[in-house]
Chain A
Amino acid sequence: GEDVEQSLFLSVREGDSSVINCTYTDSSSTYLYWYKQEPGAGLQLLTYIFSNMDMKQDQRLTVLLNKKDKHLSLRIADTQTGDSAIYFCAELAGGFKTIFGAGTRLFVKA
């Protein structure tokens, strides 16, 4: 079946790197996404990776995709207190349906 799993909480110290992990089940997924929800705001697309890529880097963000293990990760370098938010992993599964994980709440301690 379709499922995207991620841990619910992550706590890091300011300046450290954060790594948020996600596993998905649909091997035919073409796109994998990371969405961010800041406090009191809606979800917004943060970054995405196409399934034929292993890595994508965008400033402080690095997305790693292990298609064999169906594992996706988001690394945030030099994490700041402003990065505190909920991060959602999502996959574009068969039938163009986007499946979201439950979200990982990132706490950044000053």
Chain B
Amino acid sequence: GAGVSQSPSNKVTEKGKDVELRCDPISGHTALYWYRQSLGQGLEFLIYFQGNSAPDKSGLPSDRFSAERTGGSVSTLTIQRTQQEDSAVYLCASSPRQGLDTEAFFGQGTRLTVV
């Protein structure tokens, strides 16, 4: 596709269940970001992948959160034992790292509701 694709667009899960959120970045983009957006907290950085380098996990709020990026392309954000405070919109963005071309392109997000 032409843009960053995230799935599912909406997810309702019961407290304590695990969820997986998927991001398909723009082909050829080496950088991939996960953010969480909530009304009271704004945009929170979660994790950053850049090529084959070790990911920057400094934004992950707890060890229940993990993410991987397979083959330098698709990424999955996993939240284990979900809690109600995990409810938010999870945004993925990708960016080329080629010279001066650094714009980040965002997906539409996955709205996660933990009930």
Q: Does B103 contact A (CB under 8 A)?
A: yes
Interface residues of A (CB under 8 A from B): 8, 31, 33, 35, 41-45, 48, 88, 90, 92, 95-103
Least CB distance, A93 to chain B, in whole angstroms: 11
24 contacts between A and B (CB under 8 A): A31-B102, A41-B108, A42-B91, A42-B107, A42-B108, A43-B93, A43-B104, A44-B106, A45-B104, A48-B103, A88-B43, A90-B104, A92-B102, A95-B50, A96-B97, A97-B31, A97-B50, A98-B31, A98-B104, A100-B43, A100-B45, A101-B42, A102-B41, A102-B43
Nearest 3 pairs between A and B by C-beta? Answer: A102-B42, A43-B106, A42-B106
Assembled-state Cα–Cα distance A22/B31 (Å): 24
Assembled-state Cα–Cα distance A2/B93 (Å): 19
Least CB distance, A7 to chain B, in whole angstroms: 10
Q: Is the interface of A mostly helix, strand, loop or mixed?
A: strand
Known: A96-B102, A97-B50. A42 touches B42 (CB 8 A): no
Residue of B nearest to A99 (CB): B45
Residue contact A96 to B42, C-beta cutoff 8 Å: no
What are the residues of chain B within 8 A of A98 when measuring CB–CB? Answer: 31, 33, 95, 102, 104
15 extra interface residue pairs, beta carbon distance < 8 Å, beyond A48-B103, A102-B42? A8-B42, A33-B103, A35-B104, A41-B108, A43-B104, A44-B106, A90-B104, A92-B102, A96-B97, A98-B31, A98-B33, A98-B102, A99-B45, A101-B43, A103-B37
Assembled-state Cα–Cα distance A57/B45 (Å): 29
Assembled-state Cα–Cα distance A95/B49 (Å): 11
B25-39: contact bitstring with A at CB < 8 Å (1 yes, 0 no)? 000000101010100
What are the residues of chain B within 8 A of A90 when measuring CB–CB? Answer: 104
Assembled-state Cα–Cα distance A103/B91 (Å): 14
Residue contact A103 to B45, C-beta cutoff 8 Å: no
Residue contact A45 to B44, C-beta cutoff 8 Å: no
Q: Does B56 contact A (CB under 8 A)?
A: yes
